[in-house]
Copies of this chain bind each other. A is one copy, B any other.
Amino acid sequence: MKNSIKVERAIHNFTQEDLAKKIGVSRQTINAMEANKYVPSTVLALKIAKLFGKPVEEIFQLSEED
């Protein structure tokens, strides 16, 4: 799965730590998500999408291996 969290963060001028605090996770969790080190839970995806005002599908996309 891919995601455009980094881009959305840039648009909104959020630091990884800003975003982490806003959605209630650690900064490393954000960092790892951006680096595709793991797949976040649906709760996190919903929170992030809500925060950025975009549908989940616009920020998180399935790739072939999914």
| Contacts from A to B (Cβ < 8 Å) | 1, 39-47, 49-50, 55-57, 60-62, 66
Contact = CB atoms under 8 A, between A and B. Distances in A.
Q: How many copies of this chain? A: 2
Contacts of A66: 43, 46-47
Contact of A45 (B47, B56, B61): B56
A20 to B, nearest CB: 16
A62 B40 contact: no
28 contacts: A1-B42, A1-B43, A1-B46, A39-B41, A39-B43, A40-B41, A41-B41, A41-B42, A42-B42, A42-B44, A42-B45, A42-B56, A43-B62, A43-B66, A45-B45, A45-B56, A46-B56, A46-B57, A46-B60, A46-B62, A46-B66, A47-B66, A49-B56, A49-B57, A50-B62, A55-B55, A55-B56, A56-B56
